[in-house]
A and B are shown apart, each in its own frame.
Chain A
Amino acid sequence: MSLVWVYAVRDGDADDPPAVSGVDGERPRVVAAGTLGAVVGTVADEGFDEAGLAAAMEDLARLEALARAHHAVVVEAGSAGAVAPVRLATVFRDDEAVVAMLRERADEFKAALDRVRGRREWGVKVYADTRAGGDDSPAPAPGDRPGTAYLLRRKADRDRGAAGRERARAVAESVADAAGTHAVDVRRFALQDARLSGRNEEMVLNATFLVDETQEAEFRAAVTGAGDGATVELTGPWPPFSFATADPP
């Protein structure tokens, strides 16, 4: 028995499935209904049923393999035209179920394809030293009153920390504003833990933008020119994962 993994939906007359391996090493194919085509792959039920997928989500190596394969197929699926990516780990029982879904949600997919046509997603992350304070002069330390000295030092540290965080936030917003000027839409992700980035600086912005292809040069220039004193990281282009739905997920 097998199951059907869905990668993405695109305008469906083209019968040229992506030429990359899918999540189960399979060759992706296209299931069409009306003017829409779902890029799908036949996967084993073992490992891809509900229990198998739930287990995969807890297994980093397996999760990574699934994510990278899913991403690669969606990238290929969108290489020739608009593509509406489907959430990772969406599995149907058979092609008939996929066709029924395409028919039922045709309007939604057409709207999604229209929204992202000619546009790509770009990630912008900003890292800043949130501890960097303005005034580094030590707090006055009356030697004969250690308790007061301690409290004053703590207060100075706290003030510096607040100023640093405030400045980092301002930098983040200035980058977001600069990028947003040349973008159609924006989504914000949770800030990534410093342990994941491996950086000393703290992430202060983790946003992703939907950018018209005609605006990409301006977008990139704006992002590159912003963020004085901070590290700005641009990723992409991504398939429009974050903009496949009208509202923020």
Chain B
Amino acid sequence: MILTDFQKDAITEIVNIAFGRAVASLSELTGSRILLTVPKLEICTIDQLPSVLMEILNSDVCTVHQIFTGEVSGDALLILDYKGATVLASLLTGEEIENMETSAKEVLIEVGNILLNACLGTFENMLHVHITFSVPHLHLNQLNHTLNTIKMGKEEIRYVILVVTTFTVKESNVGGYLLIVLGVVSLDKFIQCIKNLEMDR
């Protein structure tokens, strides 16, 4: 599926705005200044993912997973490698966290929830699509296991909007990936909404 420059730019801008809102919420929550980098964005099929995420494919990752339904439906995921997750939890809470014990998991679920909600919410807002979100879940797993879980039971080809980003908190950086997984029909609808924006005015 090939997108025009305008379409890619539109999605990037929407994610930018979403990150801005998320960062404002996170900042208010934690009391620290937080930056999220201008994201690098790619669109590919879910089968192409392994080559893109090769570096962390076989490592343990921390995933916050939220399912969304409505006019468009799919899965939204925030993925951090295990070490990154503990570092981020430490930076945000100001406490020394070495393992993903329950408190650390809670922190990441709340943070992941804020980030994913901001993304889905901004898509909803700007593209005028109606979306409902599920309760987020946190998994600690190998990345390829997580990817398999998303593929499971779905017949259609699934596409992924992949955003590579970095959290900067208190002068430390933690890298992460945001994935929005959509089926063909949903992606079509998505692109249609973007086209409407283009046509509009």
Do A and B interact?
no
Enumerate chain A interface residues (CB-CB to B < 8 A).
none
